[in-house]
Amino acid sequence: MLFEKEADLNANADIILQGLCKYLPNEESKDKPHEDVKHSTYVPTYIGIEITSSVSQIINVVEKACKEINKSASIDPKEGIKDLEKFIKNQHGKGWRYVKSYHVTALFIGSNHELTKSEIFTKFKENEKQEVQLGAIVIVPHKCVFAVCFTNILIGNKVPHITIMLNHCPPKNSNLYGEALFIGIEELKKKYEEGFFTKDGEEYLSKHQIKVDGKNCEAYVYKPENTVTLYGITKYFG
C-alpha cells in the first residue's frame, strides 16, 4: 500500500513538472528576441501628443480672447461669448464642458487598421517629449473652443489643434471648423500658410461666418501677441 501511494505521488509530481515546463524557455526560444506583445497585437484608437502643461496656461488665453472680443468696436459679440466667460469663471455656462484630455491628434485610426501602414503611424514613437506651439484660439459660440497649434511630428489633420471645450458638439467638429476657417477663408488661409500664427509681436482678432454640416455659424479667431509654448509627450490613446 505504501509503495502504491509513493507511485501516485511520483505520478502527480510528473504531471506538475510537465505543466511548469510549458512556462520555461526552451532551447529554440532562448535565441529569439523578445517580442513586445502590446505592439504586435494592440492597435490604438488614435495617436498623438498628450499635453502635460498646466491647463490654466491654455484657459488664460481663452479668457484673453473673450475679453478682446468684448472690447472690440468692430465686432458685435453675442450671448455666446458672455455665456462662455460665465462657464470659465464658475462652470455654470449653458451646456459647456471641458474635454477630458488635452491632446493633439496625430492620426485617428478607429477601426481602419490599414492606417497603421501609413507614414504617420510607422514613424510615430511613444513617450517622446514634445513642444507644442499654441498659435490661435478659435471660439465657435454655443459649439466649441479649440486652439490652433504647431508641432514637430507628422499630423494627419489639415489644421492641427487642441480641443478645449465643447457644447453639445462632437470633438471631431473641431476638424471641420478648423478647415472651414483656415482652408476655406482666403484671408486666414494665407496667414496660416505664411506662418503668421507662429510669429510673436502682433495680436489679431477676426470674426467669420462659416457653414459646417449644413449649418451656418459664426466663429472668432484670436491670436495672442506672443505664442504660447506648451509641453507634452507622444502617446497611444484608446
Q: How confident is the model at residue 21 (pLDDT cuts 50, 70, 90)?
A: very low
162-173, pLDDT tens digit by residue? Answer: 999 999 999 999
23-48, pLDDT tens digit by residue? Answer: 444 444 444 433 343 455 899 999 99
Sign of the C-alpha dihedral computed for residues 101, 146, 137 and 109 taken in this order? positive
**For residue 1, what pLDDT is reported?**
47
**For residue 40, what pLDDT is reported?**
59
Q: How confident is the model at residue 80 (pLDDT cuts 50, 70, 90)?
A: confident
99-151, pLDDT tens digit by residue? Answer: 999 999 999 999 999 999 999 999 999 999 999 999 999 999 999 999 999 99
Residue 224 backbone dihedrals phi, psi, to 5 degrees: -70, 160
Sign of the C-alpha dihedral computed for residues 83, 143, 54 and 67 taken in this order? negative
Cα distances from 128 to residues 51, 95, 164, 171, in angstroms, run: 12, 35, 23, 25
Q: Which 3 state secondary structure label does DSSP give 225?
A: coil
**For residue 194, what pLDDT is reported?**
97
Q: Mutual orientation of helices 55-71 and 79-90 as an angle, nearest 10°?
A: 150
**178-185 own/partner pairs: CB under 8 Å, 24+ apart:** 178/138, 178/146, 178/148, 180/210, 180/211, 180/212, 180/219, 181/138, 181/208, 181/210, 181/219, 181/221, 182/148, 182/158, 183/158, 183/159, 184/210, 185/210
193-230, pLDDT tens digit by residue? Answer: 999 999 999 999 999 999 998 999 999 999 999 999 99
The better pLDDT of the pair 37, 78 is held by 78
Question: Would the pTM count as exceeding 0.75?
Answer: yes
Mean pLDDT of the chain: 86
**For residue 76, what pLDDT is reported?**
72
**For residue 41, what pLDDT is reported?**
82
Domains by residue range for the chain, with CATH: 38-237 (3.90.1740.10)
Q: How confident is the model at residue 93 (pLDDT cuts 50, 70, 90)?
A: confident
**For residue 201, what pLDDT is reported?**
96
What's the mean pLDDT in 177-192?
Answer: 98
Encode 66-103 in three state secondary structure.
HHHHHHCCCCCCCHHHHHHHHHHHHCCCCCEEECCCCE
Say whether pLDDT at 16 is over 50: no
Amino acid at 189: K
**For residue 75, what pLDDT is reported?**
77
